[in-house]
Structure 1
Amino acid sequence: MHTDPAVPIQVALGCPDDAEPWFKANYALLNRPELGDEYTRLLNAWVTLEQKHDFVMGKGSKNRVTVPKPDVLQSWIASGRTRSRKQPVVVNIEVFAAQVVTWWGALQPEWRQLDDAGLPMATRRVRGDWGQPLDVHGQNGMLSAVACLGWWGTALGSPEARASDLRWCRLIRDVAWVCEEMAQRL
């Protein structure tokens, strides 16, 4: 539900016709306009980023992050992502949210400061390269963050519940901003 007249309503870009099959399958699962304008902005930013990479399936980062991926994400990857055609279900929102926040914070380059909650500071200024492991495209890249936020938002349910979960709101904006910034530099 769009409530702020100062923020333009986001319209989904749609899945580009020239997208690779991996992208089309994931876009179909993650295109959730009911999750609101901020999520649509995130989806659009992800579309633009992958489009600028010509939807090439990037390889995973060789730089290992000391924080594991969220459990639900690991299960989804192990089951072949979209091959199962089923969306993962987040059973315990608090555990999943904590895992996503910690994992996203661990992916950040050292020039990004984290606040006491483990979220990147709201300062929106790029001060260096994004670097590995964050700057990975294809199904091994930002898809994971977009998917986690889609599942989290779905688990929250109502627009009111999503609006009141400040971690989800902040991460939606942050991941969208990262995708937009990385796309601008291509």
Structure 2
Amino acid sequence: PVWVRESFNQLEGRGYGPEFMRAVEWWTVLERTYGWETSTKGLGTDRRPSEVGHWLRVLRRNLAKPPQIKKESQYAMLWWEWWAGLQPAWRECDNRGIPVIGGSGDWNALRAPGKNSLLIVLLSLAWWREAATNATMQRWTAALADVAWV
């Protein structure tokens, strides 16, 4: 589908390295297993950074118009809270509330094929990376590792 190709090209063009591209490539594999289906159900919005909602509502999903992240540390904190809240109940979190890589179980909590699912997670990571400074780069790298693992 056009939306997958355009999104893939946009994410690939960012040049964030092999781990980022691994996450993007696995996303396309996942969408293929869903038969390119587009669900009306998206991922949860609780604690989602406001920039993500703004992009979805106001910037009309224009891949060339990422939202502006003005408070990088706040975005990073909310991003992790949002991501942790999306995880299946079997995933353990560390003392900071960040999911620990590992374990196994049902992934239905994250099953929402189409434009409103893991694509939004990948885009939100890309936007964070654009705004990242030394203050949050380590947290971004950890977030990327967790998304790639998922």
Q: How high is the TM-score relative to the length of structure 1?
A: 0.71
C-alpha contact 1:73 1:148 (8 A) present in aligned 2: yes
Q: Is 1:129 aligned with 2:106?
A: yes
Q: Percent of aligned positions with the same letter in both sequences?
A: 28
Higher radius of gyration, 1 or 2: 1
Distance between the aligned counterparts of 1:32 and 1:99, measured in 2?
Answer: 26
Structure 2 residue matching 1:109: 3-state secondary structure: coil
Asked if 1:177 corresponds to 2:142, the answer is: no
Whether the aligned pair in 2 keeps the contact of 1:33 and 1:39 (CA below 8 Å) is no
Which of 5, 14, 17 pairs up with 1:36? Answer: 17
**Distance 1:64-1:73 versus aligned 2 partners, 3 A rule:** closer
SS at match of 2:47: coil
Q: Does 1:155 align with 2:106?
A: no
Matches within 5 A, 1:28-107: 28-61=9-42, 67-79=46-58, 80-82=60-62, 85-107=64-86
Deviation track 1:124-159 (CA, whole Å, cap 9, x = no partner) reads 221x21123x111111111111111111111126xx
Query: Which among 119, 122, 139 is matched to residue 115 of structure 2?
Result: 139
User: Where do 5+ consecutive residues of structure 2 fail to align?
Assistant: none
CA displacement at 1:40 relative to structure 2: 1.3
- Cα distance in 1 for residues equivalent to 2:138 and 2:44: 28
The one of 109, 112, 115 equivalent to 2:91 is 112
Q: State the SS of the aligned residue for 1:77.
A: helix
Distance 1:92 1:32 in 2: 25
C-alpha deviation, 1:71, in angstroms: 0.7
- RMSD value over aligned CA atoms? 2.2
Task: Structure 1: state its 5+ residue gaps.
Answer: 1-19, 179-186
Contact 2:24 2:122 in 1 (8 A): yes
1:33 Cα offset (Å): 4.4
Amino acid at match of 1:155: A
CA offsets, 1:83-127, max 9 Å, x none? x731222222101101100000000111101112221113x221x
Match of 1:3 in 2: none
**Structure 1 CA distance, aligned partners of 2:7 and 2:57?**
15
Q: Residue 84 of structure 2 contacts residue 99 of structure 2 at CA under 8 Å; is this kept in 1?
A: yes
Superposed displacement of residue 53, structure 1: 1.7
Runs of 4 or more consecutive aligned structure 1 residues displaced over 6 Å after TM superposition: none
Distance 2:44 2:51 in 1: 19
**Count of paired positions:** 149
